[in-house]
Amino acid sequence: MDYQRLYEYRFRDVDQAARQAVWDQVAAFLYERMARPERLLDAAAGRCEFINATPALERWAVDETSYDEGSLSPGVKLVVSEIMEAQLPADHFDGVFVSNFLEHLTSQDAVAAFLSKMHSHMSADGRIAIMGPNFRYCMNEYFDMADHTVILTHKAVAEHLYAAGFEVESVVPRFLPYSFTGRLPSPSPLVRLYLAVPLVWRLLGKQFLVIGRKTKVYS
């Protein structure tokens, strides 16, 4: 599949400046939830909206597509690679962010293999934050995306994390709306207000947010 053409079509009517404004607020919120990691990896970075918006001292981004129009912030190390083949340092990152990626994998076993790889690249007590469409709340839209293959809910992702050697710290079944073409308001003050009022998440949220912490001992 030509993912670059796929995403050009999918986001053809999306205002990228407004999208980045949303990500600026979401990234700041999640960075705090992840206990302000100093060495942060965005494992499926896309146009790098998240990693660009974080203040981590060391920032890495991995994606198999290199976007010519991308505006990579100074200091971000970009690795253009399929994530399972990416050459990354072992036991290094104290924060890993994964957004709208697991549902693109080929099977539940592939999800498990990916999380095991992330575990191997994280330092003890490092946190991983996973965001993605929750099939329980968006089943009518889930397969409108041509690259969605694996069905996942917040409970399934929590199980996957624990099986991969993480302690599950936080599970939010309904966090953000289904997509950036959905109903999340784009002006920064409104996004900030949305993130500050979890009650609204329960009304509009269709994506889960699950956070796990790498345990010190894992066999």
Q: What is the CATH number of the domain that holds 149?
A: 3.40.50.150
- Using a 10 angstrom Cβ sphere, with 0-12 exposed, 13-18 middle and 19 or more buried, the burial of residue 106 is exposed
The pTM for the full model equals 0.90
pLDDT of residue 159: 98
Would you state the structure tokens that stand for residue 37, as one six-digit string? 């990691």
Residue-wise DSSP of 148-214: --S---HHHHHHHHHHTTEEEEEEESS-S-S-TTSS---SHHHHHHHHH-HHHHHHH--EEEEEEEE
pLDDT of residue 148: 83
Q: How many domains does the chain have?
A: 1
Please indicate, yes or no, if residue 219 is contained in any of the structural domains: no
pLDDT of residue 219: 45
DSSP one-letter code for 84: G
Please indicate, yes or no, if residue 150 is contained in any of the structural domains: yes
**pLDDT beneath 70, residues of the chain:** 3-4, 6-15, 67-70, 180-186, 216-219
Please indicate, yes or no, if residue 55 is contained in any of the structural domains: yes
**Residue reference for tokens 């290199």:** 66
Please indicate, yes or no, if residue 174 is contained in any of the structural domains: yes
pLDDT of residue 62: 96
Please indicate, yes or no, if residue 129 is contained in any of the structural domains: yes
pLDDT 10s digits, 43-60: 999 889 999 999 999 999
Write the CB contacts of 199 (distance below 8 Å, at least 6 apart in sequence): none
Structural domain for 110, as ranges = 3-67+75-83+92-214
pLDDT of residue 47: 85
